[in-house]
Amino acid sequence: MKITPQDRAIALKVLYPNFKLVQTGVSSTIFALLPALRAMGVDVSIVGVGPRHGEARNDNKAGNRPDARVVVWHARRNIEMLAGLLLRTLRPSTRVVFTSAAQRKHTRYTDFLMSKVDAVVATSGKSASFVDRESRIIPHGVNTARFSPVDSRSELKQQLGLDPGASYVGVFGAVRPSKGTDLFIDAMIANAGERPEWKALIVGNVVPAQRRYAEELQQRVAAASLSDRITFLGHVADARDYIRAVDICVAPSRNEGFGLTPLEAMSSGVPVIASSAGSYAETVVDGQSGLLFETGSSASLAQALVRLMDDDQLRMALGKSGRERVLASFSVEREAAALLDLYRGLARDSLPGLVRPRR
C-alpha cells in the first residue's frame, strides 16, 4: 500500500508514545510497526523510549514533517492516552487513538479516557467486548521475515549453546503465576521421565516480587531430578532465535492481553500449544494451526504435550499450517495497512476546518 497524492496532501504525522522504561510486549508491537509503516511512506516516530536493539529506530526514512496538519497520537497505555488528549487541547488537529488489548472490564478512569479519544482499536473480538464504545478490531501482526523457519534447528541449537541432538519445548515470557510457568513445569515433570530426548527452556525475566515463585519452581524441578533437562535461562535481550530453535512452543498463560509469542512461533514454523487465555483462541485454530488446552489445567497441558511430543508428523503439519495462517492473517504488514486506513480516515474527517468533533 502506498500513499496517494490525495493522502499525501493531508500531511499526516503518526506518533507512537512509549513511556515504559522496560521493554514489554506492548513495546515490541510498537517497534515492529515502525518499519512496516515507513515502507508504506508514512511519517511515523516514537515519542519516549525506543528499542535498544532490532530494526526499528527513529531514523524516519519518510522524512520529518514537524508542520504536519494532522497528527495521529496512537497510545497503548493510560498515561499515553492522557498525554495525547492534552496535546489535542494545544493542537486541535491532533487525533488520538487508543489500542485496547484488555480481556477484562476497564476501570472507570480508563473508560473515561477512552470516551474522549477519536478512535479505539481492539486487538481481538474478546477485547472489543470490554470496550463501551465503537471500536475497530485490528489484531497485532508479526514480522514474518524476522520470524521465519530455519533451515536447520540442530545447527541453530548448537549456535545457542543448546544440545543439538535434543528436542526442546520452550516457554517465553516473564516467570510469574499469570503466565502459567508452574503449569508448564508440572506438565513437563509429568512427561519428561518417559521421554528422555525432550528438554525444556524457560526464557523470561524474574522480577523481585516473583523471585520466591521462581525459586520454588526450580526446587520442584530439582526434586524431580530434571535440573539438567529443564533450564531457566532468565531474561534474554532478543529471544527470536530461541523461539525459532525450539521444537514446540508453549503459551500456558492463565490470563493475557493479546499474547504475541504464539504468533511469532507459528510464523517461525514452530508448532504451538496454548491456553485459551487472551486472544490465543482467536489466533490458534485448535488442531489445525496449533493445539489449545484448558486454561489453568496442567493435566490438560500435559496431554497436549504428549500428543505433540510423540507425533513427528503432527508437529510438522502444525508448524507448516501455523506459518500459513500468520502469512494470511497476522503479518505486521496487514496490521500496518489496517491502521493506516484508520489514520487516513481520521485525517480526512479533520480536514474541514480541522475542528475536533464533539463528544
Residue 69 confidence class, pLDDT cut points 50, 70, 90: confident
The predicted structure's pLDDT at residue 55: 45
Tally the domains of the chain. 2
Do 163 and 31 share a domain, yes or no?
A: no
Do 89 and 168 share a domain, yes or no?
A: no
Do 117 and 177 share a domain, yes or no?
A: no
Q: Do 185 and 230 touch, CB atoms closer than 8 A? A: yes
Q: Which residue has the higher pLDDT, 68 or 209?
A: 209
Question: Is residue 59 pLDDT above 60, yes or no?
Answer: no
| Mean pLDDT (whole number) for 91-98 | 94
Q: Cell numbers of 189, please?
A: 515433570
Do 322 and 221 share a domain, yes or no?
A: yes
Q: Do 174 and 257 touch, CB atoms closer than 8 A? A: no
Question: Is residue 95 pLDDT above 80, yes or no?
Answer: yes
DSSP letter assigned to residue 58: S
How many residues would you count in the chain?
Answer: 359
Q: What is the pLDDT of residues 9-48, one digit of tens each?
A: 567 899 999 998 766 778 888 888 999 999 999 999 999 8
Do 69 and 191 share a domain, yes or no?
A: no
Question: Is residue 123 pLDDT above 50, yes or no?
Answer: yes
The predicted structure's pLDDT at residue 354: 40
Residue 167 is part of a domain; what is its CATH number? 3.40.50.2000
Cα 344 to Cα 26, 35, 93, 335, distances in angstroms: 23, 18, 13, 14
Question: Is residue 60 pLDDT above 80, yes or no?
Answer: no
Q: Cell numbers of 96, please?
A: 488520538
Do 339 and 321 share a domain, yes or no?
A: no
Does residue 356 lie in a domain region?
no
The predicted structure's pLDDT at residue 169: 97
Cα 354 to Cα 10, 94, 305, distances in angstroms: 11, 9, 56
Residue among 260, 230, 239, 222 at smallest CA distance from 139:
260
Exposed/middle/buried for residue 218 (C-beta within 10 Å: 0-12, 13-18, 19+) = middle
Question: Is residue 278 pLDDT above 90, yes or no?
Answer: no
Q: Which domain holds residue 15?
A: 5-141+332-350
